[in-house]
């Protein structure tokens, strides 16, 4: 979503049926509409079919703050939630996916459960 729309991923909590991400766009004119869903779904299904590996990394908090300095939301989470010198992030290909305190992404990949994309008015959910 960051690469397609240039927005900032905000919060991506795990939920019972998967996980989702809120995305912040500077300009409301750059919003995502239901017209975008078919193209996004095609892209997501392509990525899922590739079975891209997610790598779990432990990185220093200060390094992550520098890495994510473009994203005030991730920095806020790091500053408010991380109380240790290091924490985990997930990387796929050359992209640092996200700070995470749990194994939601890799657990779902390991179980073969990252298989669907659902669209909702305010979020997209991956299960």
117-119: strand order across its sheet: 14-15, 18-21, 124-126, 117-119
> pLDDT value at position 91?
79
Global pTM value: 0.64
Fold of 2-126: 3.30.980
Q: Phi then psi for 92, rounded to 5 degrees? A: -135, 140
> What residue segments make up the domains of the chain, in order of their start?
2-126
Ranges of the chain whose pLDDT falls below 50 = 99-127
**Residue whose entry in the numeric block shows the structure tokens 């995470």:** 100
Burial of 98 (0-12, 13-18, 19+ CB in 10 A): buried
């Amino acid at each position: 979503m960051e690469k397609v729309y240039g927005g900032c991923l905000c919060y991506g909590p795990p939920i019972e049926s998967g996980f989702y991400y809120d995305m912040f766009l500077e300009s409301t004119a750059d919003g995502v509409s239901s017209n975008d869903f078919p193209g996004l779904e095609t892209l997501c299904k392509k990525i899922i079919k590739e079975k891209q590996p997610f790598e779990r990394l432990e990185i220093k908090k200060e390094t992550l703050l520098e890495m994510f300095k473009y994203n005030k939301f991730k920095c806020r989470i790091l500053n408010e939630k991380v109380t240790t010198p290091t924490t985990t992030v997930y990387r796929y290909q050359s992209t640092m996916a996200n700070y995470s305190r749990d194994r939601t992404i890799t657990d779902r990949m390991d179980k073969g459960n990252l298989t669907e994309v659902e669209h909702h008015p305010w979020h997209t959910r991956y299960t």
